[in-house]
Structure 1
Amino acid sequence: MRTLHSSVAALLLAAVTACPVHASESGTVQTSQDSLQPVTNAGEKKLQFDWPMLEIGTGEYAEGPTGVTVFRFGRKVMGAVDVRGGGPGTVNTDFLRLGYNYPDLDTVVFSGGSWYGLEATTAAATALKDDGVRGGHWDNVALSVGAIIYDFGDRRLNEIYPDKRLAQAAFRAAQPGVFPLGAQGAGRSARSGQFFGCNAHSGQGGAFRQVGPVKIAAFTVVNAFGVVTDRNGNVVACNPGEGWPKTLRPTELLAGMPNSRKPGWQPPKEAGRNTTVSLVVVNQTLEPALLQRIAVQVHTSMARGLQPFATEYDGDVLYAVSTGELDDKQEGALTSVDLGVIASEVMWDAILSSVPEQPRAMQPNKRFKVAAADVTKYQGDYKFSEFVSVRISEQGGKLVAQATGARDAFAIKKQAAVELQPVAQGDFTVPGRYPLNVRFADGKLILNPGHWQQIGVKSAQ
């Protein structure tokens, strides 16, 4: 989120409508979310592990794209929380801080959609009630906790958010031992490295390790203001500035502050709104104080994998859960200190696994000539939502694009038309630090075709 916000007012201005107009895959412009179809447990790359007690379900609206991730436990478990970022958005966080020494937690929910996505957390609780798992008696009420990331603004051209219907679809699709990695679930439109202008696609990551009878799992949705950093000290994903080294290190970026945040900065030759929400789960019994210490220790360790970490513009939240399946006096149980150290390494693995394959920019083809009939066919106004439209026109025999709605459309700005440089039949590109791929197909304008595509529908002439 830049994480949630630089201020409450800025956040609300960035996400002002709860009933968006958006272009669907069918090429129609819709005015509500009622017809959106939840996609559950999507993604080809998945972490698989053996832990029947822990079930995970993801739900997505491809039209956003945005989504939700639900962690469901086989029975009530112990939970703790640690909050580090300057703009968190959470549900039921204070209850976990009370330190009661009995299991009461049913689900942990991560969601896109900024504060609108908090609906997903309460939706998981009502699903437990509606499905007869929990009831209304004081000792059987469902408890769900959760946190959100900001995934609106310039990363997509609509304001679709994860709602109750999507969250409950994810809850009911939960399955044991399978976790989609990358830009799926709550991480569907996540981003990292905005602090340095990297603006790389991000997502959700997970990792699992078993030491004897002890099981440790870590999950995270990385929407960090800082850059993802590997164990060799290199930046994992970034849209670099001109002249930046091929192998980029955060130490160079941090040492170059504040100039490294400015356009045109180059490191020495010798050398938005964001948030990361996370969960660490152990099967070993831990009393509340020790579980809280695990949360603090693991959350602190994440500053190695995300640099900088926990800024004013991050809403970093970490939940720690003990399922209590393994008694802490049993042979093979670990000390809480050892648990914290191992869990911290597992979390770093989870951070690294969150980075999806970055899209490739199309390369202009100077030899390709757009047919005159196609130039005529492509021209027109394309609507992406009630606040983003793009006009395609011809200037000097070339196709140009200009945003005509209330907001820009990525590299297509309101203030001036930009040339669409041809690549192949129907494909164009707008080169730059953040290149934009463009495709015309069946009366639609597709920006960044592929996993993060946005579809505009051509208006009737």
Structure 2
Amino acid sequence: MAAGPQAGLEPTVNAPARTLEFDWPMIKVGTASYEAGPTGTTVIQFDRKVYSAIDVRGTPGTVNAPYMNMYYDLPELDTVVFAGGSWYGLEAVTGVASALKDDGVRDGKAFGVTPNIAMSVGSIIFDFGSRRLNEIYPDKRLAQAAYRATKPGVFPLGATGAGRFAKTGHFFGCNAYSGQGAAYREIGEVKIAAFVVVNAYGAVTDRQGRVAACYPDPAWPEELRDNPQTTELLARFAEMQEKKLAGSADGERDRNTNTTLSLVVTNQKLTPVELKRLAVQVHASMGRALQPFTTMYDGDVMYAVSTAEIEPKMYVPEIGAIAGEVMWDAILSSVPEQPQAATPADGPVLGADALEDLEGDYRFSQFVTVRVEAEGRRLKARAVGEREAYAIGKDGFTELKPVSETDFMVPGRYPLTLRFADEGRLVINPGHWEQVGKRADD
């Protein structure tokens, strides 16, 4: 059997990140990523089987969702798995289930009314297309590495795990980097935790109505560029869209594929119907933090879990109101620090001979190759593969502005830096979200 493009990739497990620490031994969390993607997965494991429900908005990729809508009054759920990789990433969900069997946690034997079979549910986000220059996905091996690294009381925040290459705000053209978030609260004996992977078409909005992260459009009014407010962006959206359509011959609009994955957990015992209504209520509340929410281009899913550790203390609407606030905190915690555009040098940095040494075709995947050519003391690039490489298009060459002897940039709304590294490597957007290409014949 021929080796696939993922052969030899090594999982990065529980990478250093900002974290939420919480006191709930029942819940264990593990993350893993393929940094060559980059893409990843997040596994939330419960110390024993728990009750679950689901609320689906749109058409997200899910595993075992229909079964969760059967309203069986049985604690059957072992793990919730979130992953990148679109449909391919669903392998991560079933991979965790088989790991539970392989490790002897579940063996299929019958005890009481149900067999001792692992139940793993989960969903994926879309992190392909123009976002990444390859199609590496979270597979069974990566998911099992995350599962076997789970530990209680720690949830990594930001662009890690399943949120490794999430983005938000495409509705407004923000295209901000996103990630995964979590929050936790105790009200007397009642515990509530919220976990989320934010890959929304809308923009993350804080409690003051500000957009949490955005690359503003230079055509926006100055007050919106300096301090984007979701309310103002929506109020002026018709006006801005009218101008946009007037400047386009065919009226074509941007599209994207988005999903927000969420999980709310309480230790209070709930009936199947109560758990379902909790999922619906908290899911609906997320429209405050993500605006607009559940659009045609969003496939959102909310899982609700009861660990049933305590008898009822609060009514479900009361738990839902608090959980909605906890979920808003979780969404805000998902936002990572945004990369900034490099500042070009005042003039040429390298001589003509040095620039010629950088020439070549740099292959990022079977889909994307970037051709670099020198022209005197200027450097230019063009995508010659099947797809474009961000602002480096296929129709013509794009000039690369020098920043240093190794770095070049392309001016525009979104930061685009190119770094020529050793061993014939070209790194686009070096840093946490970098994409690496290798020069042909090197």
- State the TM-score, normalized to the length of structure 1: 0.89
**Separation in 1, partners of 2:239, 2:352:** 46
Is it true that 1:294 corresponds to 2:278 in the alignment?
yes
Is it true that 1:41 corresponds to 2:17 in the alignment?
no
* Structure 2: gaps spanning 5 or more residues: 246-255
**Separation in 1, partners of 2:17, 2:323:** 26
Is it true that 1:260 corresponds to 2:240 in the alignment?
yes
**Separation in 2, partners of 1:43, 1:156:** 22
SS at match of 1:302: helix
In the alignment, which residue of structure 2 is the partner of 1:91? 63
| Superposition pairs of residues 147-226 of structure 1, within 5 angstroms | 147-226=123-202
Instruction: Return closer, same or farther for 1:351/1:164 CA change in 2, 3 Å cut-off.
Output: same
Is it true that 1:64 corresponds to 2:64 in the alignment?
no
Q: Displacement of 1:376 after TM fit?
A: 1.6
Q: Displacement of 1:264 after TM fit?
A: 6.1
**Separation in 2, partners of 1:36, 1:372:** 37
Q: Displacement of 1:263 after TM fit?
A: 7.7
Q: 1:53 aligns with which of 26, 29, 53?
A: 26
SS at match of 1:289: helix
**Separation in 1, partners of 2:299, 2:376:** 48
Instruction: Return closer, same or farther for 1:262/1:404 CA change in 2, 3 Å cut-off.
Output: farther
In the alignment, which residue of structure 1 is the partner of 2:398? 418
In the alignment, which residue of structure 1 is the partner of 2:382? 402
In the alignment, which residue of structure 1 is the partner of 2:203? 227
Is it true that 1:306 corresponds to 2:290 in the alignment?
yes
Counting matched residue pairs gives 422
AA of the residue aligned to 2:292: P
Contact residue 400 and residue 410 of structure 2 kept, 8 A:
yes
Is it true that 1:345 corresponds to 2:325 in the alignment?
yes
In the alignment, which residue of structure 2 is the partner of 1:115? 87
SS at match of 2:186: strand
Question: Can you list the C-alpha shifts for 1:360-383, whole angstroms capped at 9, x where unaligned?
Answer: 110111145213332021111111
Instruction: Return closer, same or farther for 1:262/1:58 CA change in 2, 3 Å cut-off.
Output: farther
Instruction: Return closer, same or farther for 1:261/1:347 CA change in 2, 3 Å cut-off.
Output: farther
SS at match of 2:364: strand
In the alignment, which residue of structure 1 is the partner of 2:227? 247
Question: Can you list the C-alpha shifts for 1:55-80, whole angstroms capped at 9, x where unaligned?
Answer: 00111000000010011000000000
Q: Displacement of 1:259 after TM fit?
A: 4.6
SS at match of 1:102: coil
**Separation in 2, partners of 1:117, 1:339:** 32
Instruction: Return closer, same or farther for 1:147/1:263 CA change in 2, 3 Å cut-off.
Output: farther
Q: Displacement of 1:107 after TM fit?
A: 0.5
Contact residue 196 and residue 260 of structure 1 kept, 8 A:
no
Q: Displacement of 1:279 after TM fit?
A: 0.3
* Structure 1: gaps spanning 5 or more residues: 1-18, 20-29, 266-271
AA of the residue aligned to 1:420: L
Contact residue 339 and residue 415 of structure 2 kept, 8 A:
no
SS at match of 1:340: helix
Contact residue 350 and residue 377 of structure 2 kept, 8 A:
no
- State the TM-score, normalized to the length of structure 2: 0.93
Q: 2:436 aligns with which of 444, 449, 455?
A: 455
SS at match of 2:389: coil
Question: Can you list the C-alpha shifts for 1:143-191, whole angstroms capped at 9, x where unaligned?
Answer: 1110111000111100000000000000000000111101100011101
In the alignment, which residue of structure 1 is the partner of 2:426? 445
Instruction: Return closer, same or farther for 1:409/1:310 CA change in 2, 3 Å cut-off.
Output: same
**Separation in 2, partners of 1:260, 1:319:** 36
Q: Which stretch has the larger CA shift, 206-215 or 238-247?
A: 238-247
In the alignment, which residue of structure 1 is the partner of 2:252? none
**Separation in 2, partners of 1:203, 1:224:** 10
AA of the residue aligned to 2:315: T
**Separation in 2, partners of 1:383, 1:342:** 50
AA of the residue aligned to 2:196: T
In the alignment, which residue of structure 1 is the partner of 2:109? 137
AA of the residue aligned to 2:200: A
In the alignment, which residue of structure 1 is the partner of 2:251? none
Contact residue 196 and residue 261 of structure 1 kept, 8 A:
no
Contact residue 87 and residue 312 of structure 1 kept, 8 A:
no
Q: Displacement of 1:452 after TM fit?
A: 0.4
SS at match of 2:324: helix
Q: 2:263 aligns with which of 263, 279, 287?
A: 279
In the alignment, which residue of structure 1 is the partner of 2:248? none
Q: 2:72 aligns with which of 81, 100, 104?
A: 100
Contact residue 197 and residue 261 of structure 1 kept, 8 A:
no
AA of the residue aligned to 1:448: N
**Separation in 1, partners of 2:123, 2:167:** 16
Contact residue 101 and residue 288 of structure 1 kept, 8 A:
yes
Question: Can you list the C-alpha shifts for 1:280-331, whole angstroms capped at 9, x where unaligned?
Answer: 0111111111111110110000000000101111110000000111122xxx
Q: Displacement of 1:239 after TM fit?
A: 1.1
**Separation in 2, partners of 1:62, 1:215:** 34
Q: Which stretch has the larger CA shift, 59-68 or 373-382?
A: 373-382
**Separation in 2, partners of 1:361, 1:261:** 26
Q: Displacement of 1:435 after TM fit?
A: 2.4
AA of the residue aligned to 2:88: Y
| Superposition pairs of residues 18-33 of structure 1, within 5 angstroms | 31-33=4-6
Instruction: Return closer, same or farther for 1:103/1:141 CA change in 2, 3 Å cut-off.
Output: same
